[in-house]
Amino acid sequence: MDAALYRSLAFVPAISARFLEKARAMRADIVCLDLEDSVRAGDKREARRMARAALASPHEARVFVRTNAPSTAEMRADIGAVARRGLDGVVVPKVGSAAQVRAVARALSRLERSRGLRRLEIIPSIESAAGAVACAAIAAASPRVRAVVFGIFDLMHDMGMEGAPGEGAEHARAQVPLHARAGGAVAIDSIWQDLRSPAGLARDCRRGRSLGYAGKSVIHPAQLPAVHRAFAPTRAELDWARRVVGAYEAPGGRGAMRVGGMMVDEVHYRQARALIAAASRAG
């Protein structure tokens, strides 16, 4: 994986001029202009026009657009409207197979050639039982896929698990980052819905990070600081990492050794270097 950050994927309704203007200064890793769930059926065409216009303005973050699902007639129009300079990639909702990713990649390739664009990224959204089972194949379907995003509420609906997330949803949540990594991608966790509970958001972020997620979906700018803190190495982790790297890189420091009362070996050295590199990327 390269140095791109996936700590925060912030969704912004493409039908709101006020939100689109605020998104320009949003310090998420990715701002995602949404043409899907936050836009009513009768407003899709206008949302495409507004998203296309927004892409002409500079943004602090990388800019993606969430299209409508591959199974809908809207999706081809979405891609045709927003594949412009200023776009970094697309989030494709409700992906259930690698074939759907490959079809999106082919459509993007045609537009890139005809419009002189650089290669756009694809973030498939895992929101169904079929998507969760096929997650590794979906992640490996195209070099454009460097991350997938988990949509817990759509998956629950697909499974008939209405209400608050329970053990069944947690099982799928735990599987997605594992299979995404097997396919060569990282995973971005689902949203935290309760804007009144910052403590709940912090707990949910810690849970996601412990499962192997690289970041989290965000539905309000106020969530960004907590999400970025949660998906960055802690001070204690960095202190440990620097001690391990220092001991390992000292003369005669290779192999199994004791650092601060703990036995470490080559894998811990690689983990320590990865933590330091992650902190450096996050600034």
Bridge-based pairing of strands 262-264 and 257-259 is antiparallel
The number of distinct structural domains making up the chain is 2
In this structure, are 143 and 240 located in the same domain? Answer: no
In this structure, are 185 and 249 located in the same domain? Answer: no
Residue 175: which domain range?
8-230
In this structure, are 216 and 243 located in the same domain? Answer: no
pLDDT digits (tens, 9 = 90+) for 163-219: 777 777 899 999 999 999 999 999 999 999 999 999 999 999 999 999 999 999 999
In this structure, are 226 and 239 located in the same domain? Answer: no
pLDDT digits (tens, 9 = 90+) for 133-148: 999 999 999 999 999 9
Query: Is residue 96 in a domain?
Result: yes
pLDDT digits (tens, 9 = 90+) for 31-73: 999 999 999 999 999 999 999 999 999 999 999 999 999 999 9
Query: Is residue 3 in a domain?
Result: no
CB 84 within 8 Å of CB 78: no
On the 0-12 / 13-18 / 19+ scale of CB atoms within 10 A, 271 is middle
pLDDT at 3: 60
Query: Is residue 2 in a domain?
Result: no
CA distance 142 to 139: 7
CA distance 250 to 76: 57
CA distance 210 to 227: 14
In this structure, are 183 and 224 located in the same domain? Answer: yes
Query: Is residue 118 in a domain?
Result: yes
CA distance 177 to 279: 21
pLDDT digits (tens, 9 = 90+) for 101-124: 999 999 999 999 999 999 999 999
CA distance 119 to 145: 11
In this structure, are 223 and 247 located in the same domain? Answer: no
